[in-house]
Structure 1
């Protein structure tokens, strides 16, 4: 039986180490450099977990400067089978209210500066070329368990959602925001890509808890998103995100992940064309 070991990547305001019991810090390095901060290792219930603050614990790493490869590689290196992430986001839909939870199942990539593969041909990269399939970016089996948790907790949530990831750190223009709505985007952030892609290359079960903080800037009758407006909903969202993690991770630990983990690892391995 393949037991779950869960990596947790906490987004802005969603990286409180107090959710872990028996915790200790571990500073690591990877072939791709150092991750955003120390790994905080501990347990939730009987499940081994590794917590990492995506932007660093001082929130001093802006989205384009996050070392996504080091973050994912560090969690893989620690033996994680899963990566559950939290992310603050703007809503692109009228019925996704600030405070709502969205369980992502798709993304649209609007980033321009980020390395999206461990196989980029550089000296310390993995060898070969990886053509990882992204038809189903987020782990459906993990998402099912997240739905169970959200039903149990009684939180308002949306069972599917397409995340538009922009480069940042600026917010969108109003025209961009309206265009993303026309494309079918449900929510918008600055960090899902390339994190989800790298997790897939690493053979990890990746799922995201997106927490809406605002309506971005597509509404003509409302002021545009600002840092001040976003911060107003952060505490409520942080409390909700922590409760979801505390409920869902023991549920994940009850499952036999042998077949799922094997499938993800096989897909990752078979997607690499070896160098001649």
Structure 2
């Protein structure tokens, strides 16, 4: 499907995208570009990329598709470094976890060439980072949200969607604003809470004792606190307004639960817990149904 693909930031997200395309036989050549020569060398060693480039000029020569897989605050400087070498046919997309700020940055940098930028966000990840964390099946059965712009050609949107589909992803379309409101609630707030809880426990004078007895519940709840602090700093600030709204709502919920604890209101606590349990069970069933692999004859249309 693609001749040359360029990955800017060959870590978990970019590296898994590269492996997904390779597994599908969808790119004849994948080049890597990034801040760390060591990370690029490791990505080359692992076979995530076919070439480690030290300049945008060389990387973008003949490129059909560019994926920016870097912290969202780096979007503007990365695009500015790419723009002088961006060929007319090259499509640029991203994997940023916020979209309104990314679109604003792209518009400011790319100007009349904004049509070449198709914003996206794969809804998949692990708490590990770097090239060694990349896996070919990371996006299989997972959603990728595209937030196309009015200036995008439909063929370019289809090409970006096609690349993610080849990695196994299921495509959804939202506006940038819709995207940021949704993910403030179901992704950005949970990460903030996980980081806050671990930081709180770690700051206690008996932290070693607490961590000694922390078991699977604590591990599962705080798994995402192992994610990149730099990336989540940028996401939190980029989506600050929507995240503050969700945080205020959560604080109000905690205040109500605290009131029930103070009052010894067991029935009230159980009602909250039961409602949460029902909602989570329904969500898990829906997710499992959506991500269930299709039989080969259905996938091929036979």
Q: Relative contact order, CA 8 A, sep 6+: which one is greater? A: 1
As a proportion of its length, which structure holds more strand? 1
TM-score normalised to the size of structure 2?
A: 0.30
Higher CA-based Rg: 2
